[in-house]
Chains A and B, each alone.
Chain A
Amino acid sequence: MIPVWVKGLVHDYVTRDEEGNKAEVKRALDHVDLNVEEGQFIAVLGANGSGKSTLAKHINALLLPTDGQVLTCDMDTADDRYLWEIRKSAGMVFQNPDNQIVASVVEEDVGFGPENLGVPTEEIVSRVRDCLAAVGMSKYGENSPNHLSGGQKQRVAIAGILAMEPKCILMDEPTAMLDPIGRREVLETVHRLNREKGITVILITHYMEEVIDADRIFVMSAGKVAMQGTPREIFARSEELRELRLEVPQAAELAHELAKRGISMPPAVLSAEEFAEAYKCAVSGKTTAKLTESPKSGASLEESRQDCPENNIGLSENGSKEPLLSLRDVRYVYGTGTAYETVAVDGVTLDLFPGEYVGLIGHTGSGKSTLIQMMNGLERATSGTVSYQGEDIFRDGYDRRALRSSVGLVFQYPDHQLFESTVLADVSFGPKNQGLSEEEIRERAEWALRLVGVSEDRWQSSPLELSGGQKRRVAIAGVLAMKPKILILDEPTAGLDPAGRDEILGEIDRIRRETGMTVVLVSHRMEDVARFADRLMVMDDGHLVYAEPPREVFKHREKLTSIGLEVPQVTRIMQMLAADGIPCRSDAITVAEALENLCATEAAVD
């Protein structure tokens, strides 16, 4: 049996005008050929809009070919008779965990597929039990899906597919809305199913680090298969990937750059461990004696300094400047007096200074969302004080609505705030609420849109028609138009492809430099915050654990790992090399820094 066989597949999305004539034809897939062997783990990579989701829908017969042919488990998707057999054989897991769970009880949801297939009751019960066990969710069978984390919900969705006993599982960006812990849970689960049950897996994603264990990778671009090969073959072509709006993991990038500079590194490395091995081999020609004798070329700036006392960890020694916003021993308790009482934020003290760039990191449920909502008075602290420019924002009579235009908060999903019929009108909403004159409203809206780089021809279009990256920009502009002093961004890069992510981060950094705004960037990607942040605040279980420059924070790798966070891969590599006695800076936080340092080390050894 061949799980998936695609030949010359073309798909056109046709928009029709009122009379039913073709108004616009958009070619999403353009002569795609693809062949998947039984039991393989396949990854389909591609930037947003490259056609990868459309391809998945074809394999599941949710779409039918405009031209060409798709065979799923040897059945033609265009043949009506096979429809249910195809969907049963090639189950599909979607991106949004909430929008694919049908029932209000976990086990009933897992049973939904078999119920539709008319499986007898006793067998449904035993299948549900087995499938929940296979994804490690047996304990949650009687729970409501609403009380599960994103990763757990996706595992329930996988169990729901498994219960139909498929030969192949298609996953359409299953991790895009998850945090790192959820992502790991889901990936480990599918890898295990692939290994132990021999189920063919097709994983669609734009995260490179998820595909290193794949048997074969297909890279999509503009509706075509642009590259295919093993991870190693694909990772060796990092420049081409960058042109396709993708990236390779930092280890591969660093190895690639070193090789270009004449250090004998293999053309592709997949992991930090592999890099460390390869690099040691590359420099092992030189005597080990020399290595240990050579001066420690700046091995970390200074040894870890005294830890601040716990209660003022968020204060910086930036003593000369007045803080813009200060939090003192802030606590937030949910559901006081009920069984669900939880302390979301517990005794956080911190200062934000004019013009600084702060990264706020922590996994889901660490209290970071509640923390930022207290900064502009959307949530009221249970105890402790929050003051803006020295004034307590929770005192009676304080104008918190005015505060919100000074402390701008952009929420994670742009779809939660875009509502006007045109982009320009939507961005004007904030200034309008400030009670400004018509003229000034327009001026500010245009200024904000220019600042985030939304071109003028888009200003009159509906915000709902924009791409993900553009929507994100409009949402940021909507807050910028109020000219805040502090700009807080909650996960501004979630769901964007690597190039889109870098563009947004670049914009934010440029905005900060041009306007002198204080920026607070909430993220769970260490690589994102390491590059730009002056200070990194780490939240865990409601506590502020660290508030130091990223370089200092990353020294506590073990502690970070224990709270579910990882240092950037490049920092990990440098720490591994330093631990093995190679004289390099163990506190490098970007690829460029590491590259420069490793080249210098190499030169010193020579």
Chain B
Amino acid sequence: MLRDITIGQYYPTKSCIHRLDPRTKIVGTMLYIVSLFLFRSFSGFLVVGTAFAGILILSHVPFRYMLRGLKPILMILAFTVLCNFFLTDGEILWKWKFLKITKEGLQRGAFMGIRLVLLIFGTSLMTYTTTPNQLTDGLEKLLSPLKVIHFPVHEMAMMMSIALRFIPILTEEADRIRKAQMARGADMESGGVIRRAKAMVPVLIPLIVSAFRRAFDLAMAMEARCYHGGKGRTKMKPLRYGLRDLFGYLYLACYLATVILLRVWQKI
């Protein structure tokens, strides 16, 4: 199941979107999310969808990759849509016992569904086109003003990038531990929720012990390589805005202007 999650996975090609500065992409994505929640009608989504489609084409990420990213949230999506279908009051179209479908419900359900899908599309496009390390670098740089109030920006970024580095290692290790316990007759596949949760104990304990050991080892290895926090540190790949990012921000500005104008004048 873990293998199905494509959010947070990088799609390696060399498009102009991939080469944008991560800060541009983070700011852009934030703006995109905010705009999604500004609109109250379907025509608003047309604007958002068009803006998104433009970026998607430029990024060379195939559309089916986008769809694949929806798979893990399919349950949440269905739940949201159905809740809206059944629980909205209004003009009743169909009724059976306590269940009813209203016209407003259908509208709201579809509306929420599209909003959620566009939300996932936007964020996964960012992770498809930005490596986790670039993302952390971008966040570190964007949040660096917070250093003034002694917020540990560098440490947070370092923690994030180490976590990202160890996720695949620990996933693989969890799989190996699971097999080692299954070889001793552990039953991981049958029984109810509680039994299954109990069956996880023999997997979780070795995994946690190992994670701690890795943490100690890594801390020592980092110290041995002269790591002493963010002070006096230089960057091998410092972030630099290019001409490309100027165009990126121009695009964003145009988008923002369109959204505001439509909101104010058309009230959509």
Contact = CB atoms under 8 A, between A and B. Distances in A.
B184 A478 contact: yes
Contacts of B131: 104-105
A482 interface: yes
A119 interface: yes
A102 B183 contact: no
Contacts of B161: 102-104
B10 to A, nearest CB: 9
A415 B162 contact: no
Contacts of A113: 225-226
Contact of B173 (A60, A108, A112, A416): A416
A173 to B, nearest CB: 12
B99 interface: no
Contacts of B206: 415-419
B184 A429 contact: yes
B91 interface: no
B224 A482 contact: no
Given A373-B179, A404-B185, A411-B176, A102 B226 contact: no
A443 B209 CA distance: 29
Contact of B202 (A98, A116, A429, A434): A429
B173 to A, nearest CB: 7
Nearest to B204: A419
B143 interface: no
A164 interface: yes
Nearest to B229: A116
Interface string B202-230: 10011001100110011011111111100
Interface in A46-88: 57, 60, 62, 84, 87-88
B179 A108 contact: no
| Residue of A160, A405, A415, A429 with most chain B CB atoms under a 10 A cut-off | A415
A62 B184 contact: no
A389 interface: no
A563 B246 CA distance: 54
A509 to B, nearest CB: 22
Contact of B236 (A57, A101, A115, A405): A115
Contacts of A145: 165
B210 A104 contact: no
Contacts of B232: 118
Contacts of A115: 233-236
Interface in B224-268: 224-228, 232-238
A517 to B, nearest CB: 15
B173 A114 contact: no
Interface string A361-372: 000000000000
A401 interface: yes
Interface string A393-424: 00000000100110011110101111100000
Interface size class of A (residues with CB under 8 A): 35 or more
A142 to B, nearest CB: 9
Interface residues of B, number: 47
A92 B228 contact: no
Interface string A418-451: 1100000000011001100000000000000000
Contact of A146 (B169, B173, B182, B222): B169
B205 A419 contact: yes
A100 B235 contact: no
Interface string B175-195: 011011111111100000000
B184 A482 contact: yes
A538 interface: no
Contact of A118 (B177, B201, B234): B234
A405 B232 CA distance: 57
A433 B187 contact: yes
Contacts of A107: 236
Contact of B222 (A102, A105, A418, A482): A102
A294 interface: no
A96 B176 CA distance: 17
B168 interface: yes
6 residue pairs, one from A and one from B, having the closest CB atoms: A433-B185, A111-B236, A100-B221, A99-B217, A419-B205, A409-B183
Interface of A: 57, 60, 62, 84, 87-88, 91-92, 94, 96, 98-105, 107-108, 111-121, 124-125, 128, 145-146, 160-161, 164, 373, 376, 378, 401, 404-405, 408-411, 413, 415-419, 429-430, 433-434, 464, 478-479, 482
9 contacts: A87-B226, A92-B221, A100-B221, A104-B132, A104-B164, A105-B133, A121-B237, A160-B225, A417-B177
